[in-house]
Structure 1
């Protein structure tokens, strides 16, 4: 199984931030988690507001925890808010809005997740997908 190396994590971050700049987004923060939920890399653009680490982490960590992108978590929260509340109790810091994208290798195995925050959740997700694809992986937003 492939893994997200530090080099690949840095590529994801650089390309995610570049996509954000190309789209004219607000300052972004990007976190990369490995398959075990450990932080591989994080960057916060100048001008990004505080708590962005926690928000990016919550998107990516929640996605890994359920094996679905955070868009799935948002849809589930809208239909079953008690489910999401329970996940928060079990996992701790999760943020059920788009911007948490699973990273899959060429065989489809989950090898980590990316969390992006700073602009609208939909734009965060678009930027994350660009970074993941630039590193040669497949993004799964849920």
Structure 2
């Protein structure tokens, strides 16, 4: 099961609201379980590096199966990931800083994607914004009205 576009947009809207409340301009990215971008938004005034960083944080979280805040110890001097920092590899960037948060389904906690947040003064702040927003992504949504079937188009008469 993967996150859908509506849930991804819900997470981004919640992240934007949290960032605005904190006085932060940031970028937000949601990826599915394969690390593929589902939705993205960058607030006016957020620096350009936040684009790749937000996408990379989301990709990293879903790739390692954990929130990226848990990698903080591993990137410190003497730790196994020291020196990796921000490793850009096009759309598959490894970004071991806080702000990548797993999004889980409401039924059983399966991972359905991840949200990346970049732009706050610290990775801890990015993580806090992302954590609150990820919870909003799985909140129950009212079902849409059923769509009436479309009548078939008649064949032209020769």
TM bucket normalised to smaller: 0.7 to 0.9
Q: 1:92/1:18 Cα in 2 relative to 1: closer, same or farther (>3 Å)?
A: closer
Is 2:102–2:134's contact at 8 Å kept on the other side of the alignment? no
Q: How many residue pairs were aligned?
A: 132
The answer on 1:102 being equivalent to 2:102 is: yes
Give 1:8's aligned residue.
7
CA RMSD of aligned residues (A): 2.2
The answer for unaligned runs of 5 or more in structure 1 is: 138-142
Higher helix share: 1
The answer on 1:134 being equivalent to 2:132 is: no
The answer for unaligned runs of 5 or more in structure 2 is: 140-158
Is 2:31–2:58's contact at 8 Å kept on the other side of the alignment? yes
- Give the 5 Å matches for 1:55-134: 55-78=53-76, 79-81=79-81, 85=84, 93-105=93-105, 106-119=107-120, 120-134=122-136
Higher strand share: 1
> Quick check: which has more Rg, 1 or 2?
2
Is 1:37–1:112's contact at 8 Å kept on the other side of the alignment? yes
TM-score, normalization: structure 2? 0.75
Question: Which is bigger in relative contact order (C-alpha 8 A, separation at least 6)?
Answer: 1
Runs of 4+ in 1 over 4 A off after TM superposition: 88-92
